[in-house]
């Protein structure tokens, strides 16, 4: 299939590579030309603008940082909207506000272009292995058409509902996941304050009711004091901005998410935004003046 791909960062690059290796005719575009180089070596072709890339693609994927980026790629000057033919599809895998996804879906519908919001969970390793969890929002027929492509990228694709529903699921994912990271950090911090071996505590808990993927993966990073990303905490910080803005708009109380967001604010202030979210442990240590020599 003729596929376009925009956003060749930590997540996007391995995803695009999987599509290439599955035999698809892949077109790429990036603001920075050096970002496309590794893909060109593997046989992708580069285009000068999203519009040009769109004009030759049946399906275009994007995975970029925020709502403004997606809006610019879609309907900015020389955007996808100028190139996508009727019947073509834009699958956005970025994490953005549900409201933005709904608005983009409406604008595409006016031109008979299909839309899917399909944010992912699982991180860089799952992107490379094709084992991402994909949460899709949009029309069922659109999802059906791109399903073979999504199956190359993820091991679990769930159709959550109409446009924006994928982003709602992603927001829920981020709330649960980062709250669990904070809970793991607090538990590790308490264990350490007692002078108990945190790794032994973590191993013991993994077998019981408190066992979780977060305790497994982020707990290990905390125990080893390995804070190199992983997932850059600044991205979770951004996601919590979206979640809490939606909570205001809907009149929904999210007391835990609100507290976690404040810890993320403190993390950003400490300059750890470019490091892994396991750094929430270091926020607690800084708050209790119990920073441990590394």
Partner 1 sequence: MNVGFIGLGLMGRPMALNLIKAGHTLHVWSRRRESMEPLLEAGAGECAGPSEVAARAEVVISMVADAPDVEQVALGAGGVVEGAGEGLIFVDMSTIAPAAAQSICARLVGRGVTMLDAPVSGGEVGAINATLTIMVGGDADAFEKARPLFEAMGKTVSLIGGPGAGQVAKACNQILTGVGVAAVAEALNFARKSGVDAGKVREALLGGFAYSRILENHGQRMLDRNFRPGFKAWMHQKDMRIVLEEAHRLGLALPSAAATAQMFNAMVGSGLGEDDSIAMLKLLERMSGEED
Q: Which residues bind partner 1 (CB under 8 A)?
A: 237, 240-241, 244-245, 247-248, 250-255, 258-259, 261-263, 265-269, 273
Q: How far apart are CA 237 and CA 244, in angstroms?
A: 11
Cβ-based nearer residue to partner 1, 79 or 241 = 241
> Using an 8 Å Cβ cutoff, are 267 and 215 in contact?
no
Closest to partner 1 by CB, 159 vs 189, is 189
Which of 36, 80, 45 lies closest to 59, judged by CA? 80
Structure tokens that stand for 85 in this block: 């033919």
Distance of closest approach, residue 283 Cβ to partner 1, in angstroms: 8
Nearest approach, Cβ of residue 172 and partner 1 (Å): 17
For residues 169 and 9, give the distance between their C-alpha atoms in angstroms, rounded to a whole number. 23
Q: Are 166 and 117 in contact (CB under 8 A)?
A: yes
Alpha-carbon distance values, 75 to 114, 130, 142 (Å): 14, 29, 20
Q: Which is the catalytic residue, given 139, 170, 192, 202?
A: 170
**Least distance in Å: CB of 246 to partner 1?**
10
Can 170 be counted among the known catalytic residues?
Answer: yes
Pick between residue 95 and residue 263 the one whose CB is nearest to partner 1: 263
CB of 210 to partner 1, least distance (A): 24
Residue 192 to residues 121, 269, 286, Cα–Cα distance (Å): 30, 24, 14
Which of 19, 64, 27 lies closest to 49 in space, CA to CA? 27
Residue 135 or 257 having the CB closest to partner 1 = 257
Nearer to partner 1, 210 or 247 (CB): 247
Give all strands (DSSP E) within 111-220, no chain letters: 114-117, 120-121, 132-138, 154-161
Say how far apart CA 127 and CA 56 lie, in whole Å: 25
Estimate to the nearest angstrom the gap between the alpha carbon of 217 and the chain centroid.
17
- Least distance CB 214 / partner 1 (angstroms): 22
State in angstroms the smallest separation of the CB of 182 from partner 1: 12
Q: Which residues contact 140 (CB under 8 A, 6 or more apart)?
A: 159
CB of 45 or CB of 262, closer to partner 1 = 262
Q: Round to whole Å and give the CA distance between 282 and 49.
A: 42
Q: Where are the alpha helices (DSSP H) in 26-97?
A: 37-41, 50-55, 67-75
Where in the sequence numbering do the catalytic residues fall?
170
């Amino acid at each position: 299939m003729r596929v376009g791909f925009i956003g060749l960062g930590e997540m996007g690059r391995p995803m695009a590579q999987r599509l290439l290796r599955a035999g698809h005719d892949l077109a790429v575009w990036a603001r920075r030309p050096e970002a496309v180089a590794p893909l060109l070596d593997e046989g992708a072709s580069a285009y000068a603008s999203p519009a040009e890339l769109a004009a030759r693609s049946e399906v275009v994927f994007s995975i970029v940082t925020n709502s403004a980026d997606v809006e610019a790629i879609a309907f900015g000057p020389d955007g996808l909207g100028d190139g996508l033919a009727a019947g073509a599809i834009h699958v956005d895998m970025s994490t953005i506000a549900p409201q933005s996804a709904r608005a983009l879906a409406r604008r595409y519908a006016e031109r008979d272009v299909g839309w899917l919001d399909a944010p992912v969970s699982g991180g860089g390793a799952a992107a490379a292995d094709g084992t991402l969890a994909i949460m899709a929002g949009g029309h069922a027929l659109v999802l059906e058409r791109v399903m073979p492509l999504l199956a190359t990228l993820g091991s679990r694709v769930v159709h959550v509902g109409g446009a924006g529903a994928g982003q709602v699921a992603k927001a829920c994912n981020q709330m649960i996941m980062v709250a669990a990271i904070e809970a793991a950090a607090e538990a590790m911090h308490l264990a350490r304050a007692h002078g108990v071996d945190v790794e032994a505590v973590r191993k013991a808990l993994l077998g019981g009711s408190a066992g979780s993927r977060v305790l497994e993966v982020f707990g290990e990073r905390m125990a080893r004091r390995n804070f190199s990303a992983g997932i850059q905490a600044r991205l979770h910080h951004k996601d919590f901005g979206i979640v809490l803005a939606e909570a205001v708009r809907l009149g929904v109380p999210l007391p835990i998410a609100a507290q976690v967001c404040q810890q993320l604010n403190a993390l950003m202030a400490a300059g750890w935004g470019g490091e892994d979210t396991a750094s929430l442990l270091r926020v607690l240590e800084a708050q209790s003046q119990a920073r441990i020599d590394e």
